[in-house]
Each structure stands twice: as structure tokens, then as C-alpha cells.
Structure 1
């Protein structure tokens, strides 16, 4: 049998690597700007098909259908997904749905 020596303390490089991996795996802070925030602020280019003071609609960069358009609220107010919807979001949810109708008609999809 050959006995080998093991290091009880990892090297600084190993701990830095582990810290970097952990940081990459950690979710971003809740207030960190998302890609959608950056599109709204025009920091990232997007093919915008509709915009008003409340919502923004733009073509998906990786479409899953011949016409694939995303419609997002300009102000999140905690509405980061439909599961987060609360009564205070009724107006913006209605605006998003109405915008979907407008954009569908604009795109020649008014049959559904």
C-alpha cells in the first residue's frame, strides 16, 4: 500500500476558483437590472414593434414561432411574472393584453 499526503487546507487558487463558481451560481440581487430593463432603457438594441408610456413590444431574438413578440411592462412594480400578479397590477395586465391584440393586428394575426 502506498500512502499519499493530502492537503488539509486548499490552495488560495482553489478557494478563489470555488468562490468564483459560487458567485456565478448565485442569483443576481433582486434589484439588479435585467436584460428587459436594459432594452427598455435602450441600452441593448431591440427590434421594437410597439411602444407607449406603459409597455414595450419587440421581436424575440430567438423566435420559437414565425412571429414571436415579447410584450413587457415598462415598470415592474413587483410584477416579474404572472405568478407575482396582485390586485394592484390589474391595469397593467389589461394594458399588456390589449397591446397583444394591437400587435397581433399590426402583424396580420388578427384571427388569433
Structure 2
């Protein structure tokens, strides 16, 4: 865990977040600046800077399973939702701790950006 990383501090409980679900490898919480009616973040408990640095298949699988779980619990599964992993500066990653955005509750546009 990195003391400077905001997501590590959320996992460690030193920064509050509205947690919605968790498993052995990951936690999910509401985004503070939602970009859709439902906007949740799913992060690994262990610090991994980005998807480019991820190496643990079980951890990645647990992230995706938790993303699907929170989408179902938010009522998004029937109409659809988007899961996004921004990677690196050019990919739009602003917090350098791997995280998945789960966005739904409205129609998503394509291309995204």
C-alpha cells in the first residue's frame, strides 16, 4: 500500500468512501464526481499502478467479477452498462492505481472520447 495513493488510503480506511461491495481482491465504491447516473469504481486492494502493470490473473478476474456484481446490484444489467479502464496519461488515467469505472443508467455514446 502506498500512503500517497488516494485509492490505497480508501482501501486502508483512512479516507472515507461509500463502499458498495468487496471481495478478497477488490473493493467497489461510488465515484465522487459521477459521469453517469450510476458511476462506481472497482479497485484492487493491492496497489497496482495501471492495467499495463497488472500481472495477477486472479486479481484481474476478481475485479471484473466485482464490476459485474455491482452493475447487477445497481440494476444496470438489463439495459446495459460500460466498464472502462483508463491506462496511463494519454489514456486519461488520473489516479495511478488500477481502477475500473462502471457507468450506467443512461445510453452511452460511441466513440467515447
The interval holding the TM-score normalised by the smaller chain is 0.5 to 0.7
Note the C-alpha offset of 1:33: 2.9
The alignment status of 1:37 with 2:8, answered yes or no, reads yes
CA RMSD of aligned residues (A): 1.3
Relative contact order (C-alpha < 8 Å, sep 6+): which is higher? 2
Partner of 1:96: 63
Q: What TM-score do you get using the length of structure 1 for normalisation?
A: 0.64
Give the secondary-structure state (helix, strand or coil) at the position aligned to 1:104: helix
Structure with more strand by fraction:
2
| Count, aligned residues | 78
Q: Which blocks of at least 5 consecutive residues in structure 2 are unaligned?
A: 81-113
Q: What TM-score do you get using the length of structure 2 for normalisation?
A: 0.64
**2:28·2:41 contact (CA, 8 Å) conserved in 1?**
yes
Runs of at least 4 residues off by over 3 Å: none
Structure with more helix by fraction:
1
